[in-house]
Amino acid sequence: MTAIVFSKDRALQLDAFLRSYARFVTPRVPVDVIWLPTSSRHARAYLDVFARHPWVRQHRQGLLKQDVLDCLPATGCVAFFVDDLVFVRPWAVLEQPGLSLRLGLHLTRCYTAQAVQAIPPVTITDGIVQWRWADGAGDWGYPLSLDGQLFDAAAIRPMLAAIAFTSPNTLEAGLQRFFGEFRDQWGCCYTESRIVNVPWNRVQDDYDNRFARDPYAVPERMLSFWEQGHQIDLAPLAGVVNVSCHQEFPLALEARPCEVLKWVG
């Protein structure tokens, strides 16, 4: 399996994702980060992050479509992630197309729609929840997410090749043309989600997505926090029982240790 992570102007948040990944994910699988800085300061911050996580394969974004196709494995699964995700529980890697790491039976609200979402009819076997995507609403009926969703790499390659995209948001939007091929398939997740998306800020202007609008967390200020030697304190998020895939939490910072963080999985 390969994990592909998208990041733009969020070195502080990418570092948090990678630290949570290193803590909670076993065994180690290849991680490719496609990163896009819009200034030399952002670029320097990213290089700091990669120096602290030498196990990451990093790719400065060029033509995103080609970057993604180059990172896509020939066989097995690919998991897509974005840089404002955080792992909050252990994940023993399961190569299962259709597996959603963001869903869990406590997900009863859709943040993007600001609405209640019902849990669809499910079966549970050995801690794995299964349901038909067509039976779900909100996040439970959205199989083509880039937020911790696993796909068969060989099956999704022609889909990626067939659509035009220049950003993660336009990639996810483009994939929706294939919804009909997924709606009658079975999705699966754990009873408790493995990741949560913390929308502290927004760095794209493709879509007017909801986010926390906290002035403390605007991208340039987050960059300054990194430059001043801080990192996101992940302790308050570990084990959290979130009610939506995207959930706002206060931004907590701590001093960044000096040593390079090695993989211990």
> What digits encode the pLDDT tens for the residues 164-182?
999 999 999 999 999 999 9
Give the domain CATH number at 229. 3.90.550
pTM of the model: 0.93
Q: Per the omega criterion (within 30 degrees of 0), is the bond before 168 cis? A: no
Tell me whether strands 57-60 and 31-36 are parallel, antiparallel or unpaired. Answer: parallel
pLDDT at 265 over 50: no
Question: Is 152 among the domain residues?
Answer: yes
Confidence band of 264 (pLDDT split at 50, 70, 90) = very low
pLDDT per position as a tens digit, 90-119: 999 999 999 999 999 999 998 887 889 999
Instruction: For residue 235, tell me if it sits in a domain.
Output: yes
In a domain, 46, yes or no: yes
For residues 16-42, average pLDDT = 96
The answer to whether residue 226 scores a pLDDT higher than 70 is yes
Residue 256 counted as domain residue? no
Please report the DSSP string for 70-122 in residue order: HHS-SSSEEEEEETTEEE-S-EE----TTBBSS--TT--EETTTTEE-PPPP-
The pLDDT assigned to 213 comes to 65
pLDDT exceeds cutoff 90 at 210: no
Q: Which two tokens stand for residue 15?
A: 């570092």
Examine residue 51 and state whether it is found in any structural domain, yes or no.
Answer: yes
Q: Which of 53-62, 206-215, 222-231 is least confident?
A: 206-215
Mean model confidence pLDDT for the chain: 92
8 A C-beta contact, residue 86 and residue 5: no
Residue 259 is predicted with a pLDDT of 59
Query: How many domains in the chain?
Result: 1
What is the predicted pLDDT for the residue at 262?
Answer: 53
Residue 199 or residue 205, greater confidence: 199
Inform me whether the pLDDT recorded for 229 exceeds 80.
yes
**Domain that includes residue 47, residue range:** 2-248
